[in-house]
């Protein structure tokens, strides 16, 4: 692969003439091209089987859509990357689009990882749990599921059926009596020996068979066991087996769509309307529906369905493992290249199909119906949101409706575990992937100093913005700041804004009014008298929703931090003490406090703890304590 940047000076005109000037330097190699404006910002990233042929298309002054014509007219220079193969060009193109976010490309905006169900394999009594992220541990993984809710529902029912533990290994080792999950018939209590290792292993195997799509066999085995128990007049055991069969049936009922002829596929359907698009993805694994999720990629006004779906596939599977089969609602231009690229990623063949009849076509139609309905709801919500943002602009005297509102709040208990929180809202509602939390670090802050905490949060926020987007052209800067507080908070924030030279950003303090009643809020701005909105003004309700969401996020972040600090184990801080040695120490001494008080000879007596590690543990607690 070679990277050949070619830029022009400011005297060369924009558009077709600029593009024409590059043709003499290009050959027929495959590769990726970038179009840049006069500030060298990337306008568009594209791939080509033949770079010269593709660029010559742009050099023609006619036959372009309105979007492409605008893009060409803004182009001041271009860059080219040649590749060995067309597939390599496709992968590079999608990688650059995700990284650079050019304004004329179709862009997937929400790209979170999906949760899986993990069954551990390195313990005599394996654990079943939700897992998100890289599959680095030795375990069996089943997924992906569309959401944490879909995983939690399935896990809840699987616990009823197979009675597998979900506790951590350390908790398992420290139990002396069964926990509440045993009492409510969600666990077989292997921690205290209520089930043998062999019987538990059979339950694990049955759970894995179910997650692999062999649910019928599992149900038949349970039914046979129930009949045996009933004939032996073991009615309590028969009733328990009956409840497990019902729970298994409930899992399948909740999943809804369970195709017989499709074992593993992602069903991907696109609906476009009014310059907006919705892509609906259904995850079919082991003949079961493991949930669906909708996406709203950024599209231009005249983008074709094939371009949208191809861009979606490239960006969606850039960080995810594709299934063996992709069922699409529309064909894509480079289906062969995309299939080759995804096959290389998976290590086995990936097929891309646009079914026209049969069960697969019905799956695609169901996904398309969901996409259509989801986009209709979103467009209605967007229209309402746009009206509210116009009302905010009018209420606070802004030049235009804000496209990005940032709302800040703090949370602490008597100054401890203090956190700051920022939420973001815009024309599409709450932008949860833009939320940020700030662990308050200020050692010189007086506990409970809300002004000081807000100053620290805003200082860090503006420092980051000036570093990441000094030209304010990446859409990271807010059009309006909302601060939870009155005149004092507003003055503290204004001081920070003056210090960083960002006083031009409108900022409003939202303070509880008389008797701190909702509906009587006062709004504070620098150099102006406080004012209130009408009690039934929709804009007031909107501001309350923003403030309440910031408060919810701040409280949740604070609680998580507090819970983590309460659950912290001093042994976690000792160098060289991993999970297995920590378990050995806790099993030997009973608690971390007892470990901290132990003498050197007792530490050396613990299985798996060497003399050197015992001395390190002893030194840690006695020199740092």
CB 286 within 8 A of CB 143: no
Which of the residue ranges 182-196, 363-377, 484-498, 565-579 would you say has the lowest mean pLDDT?
Answer: 565-579
Whether residue 549 sits in one domain with residue 450: yes
How much is the pLDDT for 12?
46
Give backbone dihedrals phi and psi of 499, rounded to 5 degrees, phi first. -60, -35
Which of the residue ranges 27-41, 110-124, 521-535, 586-600 would you say has the lowest mean pLDDT?
Answer: 586-600
The average pLDDT across 28-47 equals 93
Secondary structure of 363-404 in HEC code, one letter for each residue: HHHHHHHHHHHHHHHHHHHHHHHHHHHHHHHHHHCCCCCCCC
Question: For residues 508 and 170, which has the higher predicted lDDT (pLDDT)?
Answer: 508
Edge to edge, the sheet with strand 128-131 lists 128-131, 116-120, 139-142
Write the pLDDT tens digit of every residue in 132-150.
888 888 899 988 888 888 8
pLDDT band at residue 412 under the 50/70/90 scheme = low
Last residue of a domain, one of 39, 72, 100: 100
Asked if residue 445 has pLDDT above 60, the reply is no
Whether residue 89 sits in one domain with residue 66: yes
Last residue of a domain, one of 100, 131, 158: 100
How much is the pLDDT for 317?
92
Give backbone dihedrals phi and psi of 226, rounded to 5 degrees, phi first. -65, -40
**CATH code for the domain in which residue 70 is found:** 3.40.1440.10
Say what percent of the chain tops pLDDT 70.
89
* Residue 111: inside a domain: no
Whether residue 239 sits in one domain with residue 161: yes
DSSP lists the bridge partners of residue 139 as: 120
* Residue 342: inside a domain: yes
How much is the pLDDT for 3?
54
Range of the domain at 141: 116-255
CB 12 within 8 A of CB 18: yes
Asked if residue 5 has pLDDT above 50, the reply is no
The average pLDDT across 279-306 equals 88
Asked if residue 42 has pLDDT above 80, the reply is yes
* Residue 385: inside a domain: no
Secondary structure of 146-189 in HEC code, one letter for each residue: CCHHHHHHHHHHHHHHHCCCCCCHHHHHHCCCCCHHHHCCCCCC
Whether residue 121 sits in one domain with residue 91: no
Whether residue 351 sits in one domain with residue 279: yes
Whether residue 490 sits in one domain with residue 477: yes
Question: For residues 442 and 511, which has the higher predicted lDDT (pLDDT)?
Answer: 511
Distance, in Å, from the CA atom of 478 to the CA atom of 177, rounded to the nearest integer, reads: 54
Write the pLDDT tens digit of every residue in 22-32.
998 999 999 99
Whether residue 237 sits in one domain with residue 223: yes
Reduced to 3 states, what is the DSSP secondary structure of residue 415? Answer: coil
* Residue 440: inside a domain: yes
**CATH code for the domain in which residue 587 is found:** 1.10.150.20
Distance, in Å, from the CA atom of 403 to the CA atom of 389, rounded to the nearest integer, reads: 8
pLDDT band at residue 574 under the 50/70/90 scheme = confident
Last residue of a domain, one of 65, 100, 135: 100
The average pLDDT across 511-537 equals 80
Domain count, the chain: 5
């Amino acid at each position: 692969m070679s990277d050949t940047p070619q830029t022009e000076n400011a005297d060369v005109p924009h558009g077709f003439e600029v593009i024409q000037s590059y043709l003499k330097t290009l050959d027929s190699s495959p590769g990726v091209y970038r179009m840049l404006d006069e500030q060298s910002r990337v306008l568009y990233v594209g791939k080509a089987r033949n770079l010269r042929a593709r660029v010559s298309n742009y050099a023609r002054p006619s036959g372009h859509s309105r979007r492409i014509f605008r893009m060409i007219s803004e182009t001041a220079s271009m860059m080219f990357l040649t590749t060995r193969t067309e597939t390599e060009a496709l992968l590079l193109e999608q990688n650059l689009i995700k990284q650079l976010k050019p304004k004329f490309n179709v862009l997937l905006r929400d790209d979170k990882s999906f949760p899986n169900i993990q069954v551990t394999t390195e313990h005599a009594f394996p654990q079943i749990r939700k897992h998100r992220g890289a599959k680095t541990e030795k375990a069996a993984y089943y997924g992906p599921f569309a959401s944490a809710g879909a995983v939690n529902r399935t896990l809840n029912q699987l616990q009823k059926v197979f009675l597998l533990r979900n506790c951590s290994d350390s908790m398992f080792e420290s139990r002396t009596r069964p926990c509440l999950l045993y009492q409510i018939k969600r666990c077989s209590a292997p921690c205290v020996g209520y089930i043998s290792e062999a019987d538990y292993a059979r339950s694990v195997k049955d759970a894995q068979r179910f997650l692999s799509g062999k649910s019928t066999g599992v149900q038949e085995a349970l039914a046979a066991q129930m009949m045996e128990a009933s004939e032996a007049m073991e009615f309590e055991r028969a009733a328990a087996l009956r409840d497990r069969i019902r729970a298994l049936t409930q899992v399948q009922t909740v999943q809804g769509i369970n195709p017989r002829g499709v074992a593993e596929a992602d069903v991907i359907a696109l609906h476009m309307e009014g310059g907006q698009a919705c892509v609906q993805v259904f995850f079919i694994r082991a003949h079961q529906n493991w949930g669906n999720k909708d996406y709203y990629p950024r599209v231009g006004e005249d983008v074709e369905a094939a371009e949208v779906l191809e861009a979606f596939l490239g960006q969606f599977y850039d960080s995810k493992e594709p299934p063996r089969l992709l069922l699409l609602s529309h064909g894509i231009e480079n289906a062969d290249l995309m299939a080759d690229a995804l096959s290389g990623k998976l290590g086995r063949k990936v097929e891309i199909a646009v079914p026209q009849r049969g069960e697969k076509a019905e799956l695609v139609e169901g996904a398309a119906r969901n996409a259509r309905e989801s986009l209709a709801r979103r467009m209605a919500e967007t229209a309402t949101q746009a009206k509210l943002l116009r009302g905010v602009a009018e209420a606070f005297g802004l030049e235009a409706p804000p496209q990005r509102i940032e709302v800040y709040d703090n949370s602490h208990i008597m100054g401890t575990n203090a956190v700051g929180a920022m939420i973001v809202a815009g024309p599409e509602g709450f932008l949860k992937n833009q939320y940020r939390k700030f662990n308050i670090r200020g050692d010189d802050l007086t506990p409970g100093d809300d002004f000081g905490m807000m100053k620290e949060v805003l200082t860090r926020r503006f420092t980051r913005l000036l570093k990441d987007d000094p030209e304010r052209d990446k859409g990271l800067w807010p059009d309006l700041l909302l601060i939870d507080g009155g005149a004092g908070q507003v003055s503290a924030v204004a001081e920070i804004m003056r210090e960083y030279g960002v006083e031009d950003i409108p900022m409003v303090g939202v303070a509880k009014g008389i008797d701190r009643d909702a509906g009587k809020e006062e709004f504070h701005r620098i150099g102006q008298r406080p004012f209130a909105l009408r009690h039934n003004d929709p804009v007031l309700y909107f501001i309350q929703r923003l403030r309440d969401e910031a408060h919810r996020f701040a409280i949740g972040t604070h609680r998580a931090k507090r819970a983590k600090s309460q659950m912290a184990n001093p042994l976690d801080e000792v160098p060289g003490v991993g999970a297995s040695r920590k378990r050995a120490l806790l099993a030997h001494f009973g608690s971390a406090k007892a470990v901290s008080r132990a003498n050197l000879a007792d530490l050396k007596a613990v299985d798996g703890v060497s003399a050197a590690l015992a001395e390190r543990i002893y030194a840690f607690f006695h020199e740092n304590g």
